[in-house]
A and B are shown apart, each in its own frame.
Chain A
Amino acid sequence: MKKKSAFTLVEILFASGMILVLFMGFVTMSLQSHRQTVMSRDKLKATFYARETIDAIRGALTLIDSEKLGSLSNRFNGDSFFEIKTPPDLKVDVFTTTLLKSRDNGLNSASTVFLSRMPSNFQRLVKISPSFRRYNGNPDLYNVEVQIRWKQDSKTYNRQVRQVTVVGANETGHHFEY
């Protein structure tokens, strides 16, 4: 009697089902991995953008005399966030923006910062507010908060990173030696 060595139909069906289940699991894992990778990448990017923005603001505030800054009513004194947008149709990776619009060219140039171009699904929000003022009314410390928000698989901004620091106001006649 000839021995049959092939799989039976039942065996094949069972095996196929098993393989399908495993494959589905792999696909799910793959998708999750991809999503997490994208999220990690975006978060890393956002962290970089936030740090870059904080550093740029720190540098700008250090350059500007607090006396001049304190006398101006502008977004440096505000309590709400303002957005620094990446210019549309930007061909290069870096752009400049002026934090402080003033009639004083010196202030304008001092408050001009270099920032990286962000992908279109990213948003950069900044809040700079005096921590408290000196006896002469000039800010002594600034609270700086930066939020980088982005959209991931959504039409609204559903992800964000946030950084906070304090920057000492520049004062004329600073008698520290650096």
Chain B
Amino acid sequence: MIMSLKYQPLLNRKGFLLFIIPLVLLTVAIFFSILMWLSKSRALISQKSYEIDIARGVCDGALDILVQAIHNQTPLPQGIREFNSIPHSSFVHYFGQVELNETFQAGHSRLMSLTEHQYRHAFETLEKSFPGVEIECNLQGQAEPHSEFLVDPISRQVEFELRCRTWYASVKVDHMIKKKVWIYNMASEAYTRFTIFHHDSVGGSYNKTLLDGAGRVINNMIPLIAFNHNPKSDKSDNELLALKKSEEKRSFDRLTTSGTSKKLKHAIEDRGYQYYGNSQFRPTDLRIGGGMRFETYSEEWLLFNPYYEKFSPVYKLYREFLPPRLQSQYRVTNLYEDPDGDVEKETSGWGLVKFWKGGFWNISKDHPDYPGKYIGGWTPFSSAIHPFGTIDQMSRTRIIGNTIRTSWRVSKLFLDRVASESDERQYERCMGYDYEMTPENSLISPLPSLPYFPDNSFPSSALEPFLGYKGNIVRECDEPTKIKPADTFIPQYLFEKHDEYSRASSGYSFNNPLQLIDMALFSHDDMPPHFNKGFQGYTLIDDDRERGKRDKYEIDAITGEAFERADGSGAYFRFDYNFLNPDVIQRKKIYMPALTVKELEDRGYLRANSWVGPEIPLKIVGDLEIGEKFEFQSRTSLYVDGHCKVSPVRSRQYLLLNCKTLEFTKKQNFEKKKEVNIYEGIFVGRNGIRHTLEHPDSLVVHGTLAGSPIEDSFFSIPTMVVYDSSNDYRQGKQDNAFRAMMEPSILNWEIKP
């Protein structure tokens, strides 16, 4: 049998087909399954991505809410609220806790309890924006130890990490932000009281002390504050410091806690300031506002707000508290002139001072209510007291920045009326008007402080605003048109002749930066003014006078520049009567000898670690470098025409260092990484101030600092520099940044670095 191989078509191989076709189908099925799986994966990825982004947006939002909450609850100095009003459940309170040293940690619930309700509400709203979103945040960080009370590194630096985790659907997002925040010590009255920042280098400057009606300082230990006010600025002065006008609680008591008051009181008084604290320890009640608090023998003191609307910014002193002389009756002569000038009557009687009002006033010649009057209106603008101080205590206030002083001193005396025929007639006439006539206020006599009327007489129109006891004004009344106070009204306390005083206290003058308002460079106890008994003028000691003949320099009071004197006369201070003359004070000269550093060393003034120089102003030719552990042991005023490089200096005496450029520096100390560099005195950098301290060393100036500009780096370390946000160095306005002052004659600071 012949075997033949016949071709059989594949199709005909059923078995094979039954195998291959399902295989193909399976392959295709697998392919499509993979395709489906891939597309589902993509869908899952896109969904996950969406969920992640939702969680991320919510997480970032939560961080922003908490950062804003922390930011807004840690106010800058000018935004400081009353300390007691800050709730315990707030970030600033939390960060400011004494026990909060080194590290801290706050969980979500704690964090929420610290957060203000509106932020918490925003937080909850955000959480509800997507169903199922959960947010959990926590805070941890590190804080520098709390500053020693009144040592005045006023800020405390807190570094923290804020971490928020968000869960949404199946995803979790974890974001963290790191920040540093400066917490200002709001409990420090010294800081609050004596540190004022000015946002403009030009403006009015007024010293503020508490004086009685005779110009006496109520207490010898007083805070002395100067401030620049820029009348053109729309920024309210009272926003510069602690309290806002809208806040009803005016007492500074609220800036501190009762538990620390006692300590604070001693600390302030140790520094020579008068304490205005909690009632238990309060010798004087310091309040913002005008007027006098009768019961407590205290003045309501208009701090930093010369334009306070409701209260007259003058101080008022009642008879009981006037000097004994003014508590007794005075002989008063009133001169009455008929409007036609035909009749002139003189009435006289005994007057009794009811109270005394004093302060500075703006005068407007065209008061809208009194058109055509030569002097129509008055606007009280400051409770500043006599710019040259008093016989008891001269003003120690210095000016920060170039200032213009406009001062009017007007006093108001209410007198007993003495009945006479003419008086009765006037009384009757005046009754027809809205004027409350009583025996005590029927006559008014201002002190003759206006130079417009050299004969010491005043048209009654000038007085009209002052007649407004209880708001009433006498008009067209047959009152005397001129009131001439009797001689007994001239207060002998201030000047030998009252017209001298009035001339000096009324006027318009330009003042040099850092010039003492009362004296050039030194306070009154060095150089008493001429009205002090025994004062005959002041000259340098002989040596210095002789040297002054050789070193003939003077400083222009306006520009601050020193130049050689033209007349070649000797160096001396000219503190005669003309010094107080407002015409002269505008171009006051300060004469001083000029020496090189080598000459200073040769004379023994400048030593390795100390300065013991003559207590007169000196000009230093060239640069000056002051090393570490340097102490000024005598009252010192140096005008350096070069660069000053100053390490921390100690000065228990008055120190003024006025340099062309000023650099705060310190040799690097690797062993002590953190340290407070304390500079005591008044430091001026005419052309600029900077520091080269190593971060994070802090810089504390116990005194005054002024310069234009202040370099950016100055703000990069913890310092006592207080700045207004509008002058934030990041805003490029640092040229106007001035450190406000602390009276430098307070010499017993306790330094606890």
Contact = CB atoms under 8 A, between A and B. Distances in A.
Q: Do A and B come from one complex?
A: yes
Interface of A: 5-7, 15, 19, 22, 26, 29-30, 32-34, 36-37, 39-41, 43-44, 47, 50-51, 54, 58, 131-132, 134, 140-141, 143, 145, 161, 163-169, 171-178
B81 to A, nearest CB: 11
A157 B568 CA distance: 93
Interface of B is mostly: helix
Nearest to A37: B39
A5 B13 CA distance: 7
Contacts of B724: 173
B669 interface: no
A161 B57 CA distance: 13
Nearest to B64: A168
B39 A164 contact: no
A163 B40 contact: no
15 contacts: A5-B13, A6-B12, A7-B11, A15-B21, A40-B46, A47-B46, A51-B53, A164-B54, A164-B58, A166-B64, A166-B126, A168-B68, A172-B728, A173-B731, A177-B182
B67 to A, nearest CB: 6
Contact of B35 (A29, A141, A164, A174): A29
Interface size class of B (residues with CB under 8 A): 35 or more
Nearest to B122: A131
Interface in B655-689: none
B23 interface: no
B179 A176 contact: yes
Nearest to B12: A5
A7 B13 CA distance: 9
A173 B197 CA distance: 15
Interface stretch (B25-33, B480-488, B609-617): B25-33
Interface in B553-587: none
Q: Is the interface of A mostly helix, strand, loop or mixed?
A: mixed
Contacts, number: 143
Interface centre among A15, A41, A176 (most CB of B within 10 A): A176
A135 B647 CA distance: 44
A36 B58 contact: no
B49 interface: yes
A7 B179 contact: no
B280 interface: no
A165 B53 CA distance: 10
A148 to B, nearest CB: 10
Contacts of A134: 72
Nearest to B178: A178
A175 B181 contact: yes
B331 interface: no
B71 A36 contact: no
A175 B42 contact: no
A44 B46 CA distance: 5
Contacts of A50: 53
A19 B28 CA distance: 11
B42 A164 contact: no
Contact of B179 (A54, A173, A178): A178
A173 B730 CA distance: 8
The 7 closest A-B pairs by CB, nearest first: A173-B725, A166-B61, A40-B42, A165-B57, A165-B61, A177-B180, A168-B68
